[in-house]
Structure 1
């Protein structure tokens, strides 16, 4: 794994939909040439309709728009919703668009879970926030606590090149290349953007070919080199055995380790899985805080007040071993201090710490389930390779045309 660090960036933290959506919609509305969006979830709700409206506006005045959604995360977009976009010139791409089976979604693994927006190759957004109303506090007690960043500066060129590389097989298919045999996705020529701030930043991604564990390795490197403090807020926490071991070792050597996890999860199994790990973590000195105000959806971390990450990757088997993910790594004391301050606010006001006396008793059943969990974590990455890969990977809606991009073409991007 070779990270490309870019100096001279300005990175602004955005918390929840209240801060994120106005920034994104305003930036899209000001686009001059191009808008590229990848999102796991797009719903036909008030937020999705706002995105729909601004994309129609810019597409009708000649801005090229590519919108990629996931077939599992965005399963219910109506023909009217899609048709209006494509009639305006938006190119809509659906990753793994499998139909329901007996009314159920069964394409559970290897999802396109990234959340990236790049505008004119000059402004970018990346994080964990989807285009859905449940990221707004006004949606009620089930609204999600989450984070993203707005980025200006040289690292935007790295994000821009990445999203174009992902789209290359689609363009190849439209040009008839699929009929002639699959080709490696061409690289986009790097663009030099002027410095906009003082932050160093790097894009790190996870795929199912060459970059299978890059995000996990970046987390582990930061944990192993931590000297004073680690703060991780992560919605779905059931990480690999080695990452857990690194956290426990960091706490034992005197690093102040804090985990902010779900206390009011959107799926009950999330808390059940995480709680299997609490005893061993707390025993070694890790501070485990359950966020209890509403469902936590964030995927962020701060180490030693210098290193931070914001992105789409959870610390669970799906994100670390199966899904397509993207995180931004950030080295900037000002940004790290702001993220750390906001996480401390959660700890102080909206979390309960799972101290020894607050943990459930260690019954024989819990010992057995914990042992099974640890063995699962140790071996899951190798088991994941046996899970299904194929299917119709991308269906693109280009005007009135539908173009299916097979797995072999898409995998050129991951090599």
Structure 2
């Protein structure tokens, strides 16, 4: 599907699970016809159980419910959890399920990393928040800081068509897809809900291999006043780094909010290899230190914003299946800018070159290697296995004795 700007939308920022989960569960509870959910991670904790209850109740009152989970991100759901859903009529599909080798999962590359919910073709949620309790602050020091948006208006029709197509490609095929589309609200039938222009942009391994990165680069190139990027896993390609440095050198206020308390230490190590290059060009870097940062958001000047599932690292930019919304709206930009300013002032430490120490021979060598890795990794990623991922449907009664799911091709 080709991305296009769609006007007449309402966009609400949802920060962390405290804002996101109640709105999603409320939307599912109000569903009259259809609920479609895609998520990378679904855990059987209090959030996963809350989603289970919401899906079960919707299915039992006659709502068509489709759930797609990733085989790497959500491998351990119990037979009881899946079986009760499928018995109620929920269609549960697993993206690229894989077996373990010596206790390790082998299906690590080209994951379905999107987080999307569409209800009745009229409300949609897109962002970086998974269905797991570690997106709630009461989870403790490892609770994640993250963002999503709730959308209403004609753009929801675009997102709805996308998720229906995603099911059809690996599932029952185009006849089923056309039938569901006939029942879906057409974009012209979805009333305007606000003034925001929205673009729904995705990344895959076929036709849209670098769409999200291209929109980042285009926005950074046209920036005149400010750029603020908050991104959890930051190791972008050479061209994106170059655009940030050029923007800072022409006087744009470029700020990065990155992980200071990462959930994986290598994330901070990799990002810090780039700090000298960015700081010397005038980019300001802030490390978020309250808990792990999981957000994937950015804003440029006073209108352009993006929120979604895509990190700025090799996995998201070159391998995973991702989905972002890009928003052109001054009011939404102001809301997101205010939340990121609060983060920088109250929960971050600013990094300067003195904190990084002096240049050394090893640092120069490492810098050279990192530079060329950034320059060429998109091409290297293309050489990695590009099998067609399987989308398999879990049926009631087809559960393994150990509680794991047995799947057949849908």
TM-score (norm 2): 0.94
> Taking structure 1 as reference, are residues 144 and 60 closer, same or farther at Cα in structure 2, changes over 3 Å only?
same
* 3-state DSSP of counterpart to 1:124: strand
Instruction: Answer whether contact 1:168 1:185 (CA < 8 A) is retained.
Output: no
Equivalent residues in 2 for 1:363-378 (5 A)?
363-378=360-375
User: What residue number does 1:325 align with?
Assistant: 322
User: What residue number does 1:409 align with?
Assistant: none
Instruction: Answer whether contact 1:170 1:396 (CA < 8 A) is retained.
Output: no
User: What residue number does 1:204 align with?
Assistant: 201
* 3-state DSSP of counterpart to 1:338: helix
Give the Cα separation in 1 of the matches to 2:78 and 2:60: 20
Is 1:44 matched up with 2:47?
A: no
Instruction: Answer whether contact 2:170 2:390 (CA < 8 A) is retained.
Output: no
Equivalent residues in 2 for 1:116-127 (5 A)?
116-127=116-127
Is 1:237 matched up with 2:234?
A: yes
Is 1:94 matched up with 2:94?
A: yes
User: What residue number does 1:411 align with?
Assistant: none
* 3-state DSSP of counterpart to 1:216: helix
User: What residue number does 1:59 align with?
Assistant: 59
Instruction: Answer whether contact 1:90 1:398 (CA < 8 A) is retained.
Output: no
Instruction: Answer whether contact 1:165 1:188 (CA < 8 A) is retained.
Output: no
Deviates more, 1:191-200 or 1:312-321: 191-200
Give the Cα separation in 1 of the matches to 2:297 and 2:364: 30
> Taking structure 1 as reference, are residues 186 and 87 closer, same or farther at Cα in structure 2, changes over 3 Å only?
closer
* 3-state DSSP of counterpart to 1:8: strand
The partner residue of 1:191 within 176, 179, 187 is: 187
Instruction: Answer whether contact 1:42 1:74 (CA < 8 A) is retained.
Output: yes
Shift of 1:345: 0.4
Is 1:316 matched up with 2:313?
A: yes
Instruction: Answer whether contact 2:171 2:392 (CA < 8 A) is retained.
Output: no
* 3-state DSSP of counterpart to 1:73: coil
Is 1:335 matched up with 2:332?
A: yes
Instruction: Answer whether contact 1:165 1:186 (CA < 8 A) is retained.
Output: no
Structure 1: which 5+ residue stretches go unaligned? 178-183, 406-415
Give a deviation string over 1:151-173, Cα, whole Å, max 9, x none: 00010001001001111134426
Shift of 1:46: 0.5
User: What residue number does 2:294 align with?
Assistant: 297
Is 1:278 matched up with 2:283?
A: no
Give the Cα separation in 2 of the matches to 1:329 and 1:390: 29
User: What residue number does 1:360 align with?
Assistant: 357
User: What residue number does 1:155 align with?
Assistant: 155
Give a deviation string over 1:223-244, Cα, whole Å, max 9, x none: 0000000000000000010000
Q: How large is the RMSD of aligned CA atoms in angstroms?
A: 1.8
TM-score (norm 1): 0.93
User: What residue number does 1:247 align with?
Assistant: 244
Instruction: Answer whether contact 1:145 1:294 (CA < 8 A) is retained.
Output: yes
Give the Cα separation in 1 of the matches to 2:149 and 2:388: 33
Instruction: Answer whether contact 2:83 2:395 (CA < 8 A) is retained.
Output: no
Give a deviation string over 1:251-277, Cα, whole Å, max 9, x none: 000000000000000000000000000
* 3-state DSSP of counterpart to 2:104: coil
> Taking structure 1 as reference, are residues 292 and 124 closer, same or farther at Cα in structure 2, changes over 3 Å only?
same
Is 1:225 matched up with 2:222?
A: yes
Is 1:404 matched up with 2:370?
A: no
Give the Cα separation in 2 of the matches to 1:163 and 1:3: 14
